A and B are shown apart, each in its own frame.
Chain A
Amino acid sequence: MNIPYTVEVRPDTGLANGKLGIWLFLASEVMLFGALFSSYIILRTGSIHWPQGELNVWLGMVNTFILIGSSVTMVMAWASLKLNDWGKHRLYLILTFALAGIFLVNKYIEYADHITRGEYPSHSTFVAMYFTLTGLHGLHILGGMVVMAYFIGPGKKMYQTNREQFVNRIEYTGLYWHFVDLVWIFLFPVLYLL
């Protein structure tokens, strides 16, 4: 059976199902990270001493560059599809995937550094917040990578069978990916700089 409006848009809303779905999902994500930011504020203002400059700003900055870069490649992966350039699309999508991987490697180096210094989450509320926020964000990166891996690998067949839906799916992946980037844009100053 076919569900209407999976590919084409519904005339009165101007939307395909997936588009609205992904945005609603992102709305709930806003509230998820919002609650953590809110907790961050309250714990920080309530603390007697809040460490500053504990984290490696340069590593954080490099990771910011990487994520922003991956956002650009992601949107290009979609735009290339729109321009019917399959080769470029593959290139950009794989690039995005690779950048995400590098981000996680960096994150791993950072984590390992903290652990060897004995800075477990129990070390201080700041470190706890750091691990929780970046950990949750990292999981989102990982989730995004799984989805991209799918579209690089087994999912790519759909381009032949149902081109439009494939393009839509890449667009939704992109929306998710930009959101993950957007979260990092706030995490970076909040954790590394302030």
Chain B
Amino acid sequence: MHSEADDIKKHVRTYWMIGGALYVFTVITVAVNQIHLALPFAVTLALIVASMKGYMVASVFMHLNHEKKWIYGSLLLTVAFFIVLMSIPLFTVMDSIGTDIVQEVPAGSAHPGAGAPAH
């Protein structure tokens, strides 16, 4: 038991450090965002940073760095299906024989895609 308390004490330091790191990363993303990068690059960067933050939260705060095999197993399965889920956009547009019909813009709205003002 004694070692557990020590362990926790050690962990507490890590928690604060991770908290700090998460703040720093947030500042970095926002700062990078202020210098407007090309979109594909910005997306990649933002997602990489977000994934790193996510990794820190999951592994340290949620103790995923040392969990039991049933939890890893369930999450592995979830990740597999999550990947399938994230491939839906690809499946929907990449291999379609249909082509978009670009409609004449109806009177009163700016873009059919988005940003049309309400009235």
- A interface residue numbers (CB < 8 A to B): 13-15, 19-20, 23-24, 27, 30-31, 34-35, 37-38, 41-42, 45-51, 57, 61, 64-65, 68-69, 71-72, 74-76, 79, 82-83, 118, 120, 122-126, 174-175, 178-179, 181-182, 185-186, 188-190, 193-194
Contacts and interface: CB of A to CB of B under 8 A. Distances in A.
A126 B43 contact: no
Interface residues on B, range: 35 or more
Binding site of B, secondary structure by majority: helix, strand, loop or mixed? helix
Interface string B18-62: 110011001101100100000100110011011001100110011
B15 A38 contact: no
A194 to B, nearest CB: 6
B28 to A, nearest CB: 11
Contacts, number: 154
Interface string B87-101: 011001100000010
A51 B116 CA distance: 11
Contacts of A186: 50, 54
A45 B113 contact: no
